[in-house]
Amino acid sequence: MDYLIIALKIIVGLGILNVWLLRSGKATAYRGKDAKTLREEFAAYGLSYPVFCLIGVLKVSLALALLASLWIPSVAQPAAIGMGVLMLGAFVMHLKVKDPISKALPSLAVLAMCIAIALL
């Protein structure tokens, strides 16, 4: 079980860092509406630039906390819960703009992994 939790922390942590730091300016099949970048996606959801920045800081911080939890286990549960709340919000935003479920699947998958990290 320990190896599963370690794997989930790495997958979520590196996955979020990839999205927010390496791929934020690139188009993907999972962007909301017809957005080409992460910033455009937030605009499509009707969210302001300051909200985009706040969510970005929170997600990167929580991703780093999940990775740090490999050495500091006490931060795992709060980081996973925080990230899970943000992923639930991401899912709701996809519903808000009536995206097909395929665009919302990554947020649901990360939410499920965060629940597992928090509970196991």
Q: What is the pLDDT of residues 56-99, one digit of tens each?
A: 999 999 999 999 999 999 999 999 999 999 999 999 999 999 99
This model's pTM is above 0.85? yes
Average pLDDT over residues 39-48: 97
Q: Is the pLDDT of residue 17 over 90?
A: yes
3-state secondary structure of 5: helix
Closest CA to 78 of 52, 41, 114: 114
Contact of 77 with 118, CB cutoff 8 Å: yes
**Is residue 109 one of the residues assigned to a domain?**
yes
Number of domains, the chain:
1
Task: Please give the structure tokens belonging to residue 62.
Answer: 């929580």
In a domain? residue 10: yes
In whole numbers, what is the pLDDT of the chain averaged over residues?
A: 97
Hunting for tokens 């703009």 — which residue is that?
A: 97
Residue 31 in domain: no
Q: Provide the 10 A C-beta neighbour count for residue 25.
A: 10
**What is the pLDDT averaged over residues 16-37?**
96
Give the domain range for residue 58. 2-24+36-119
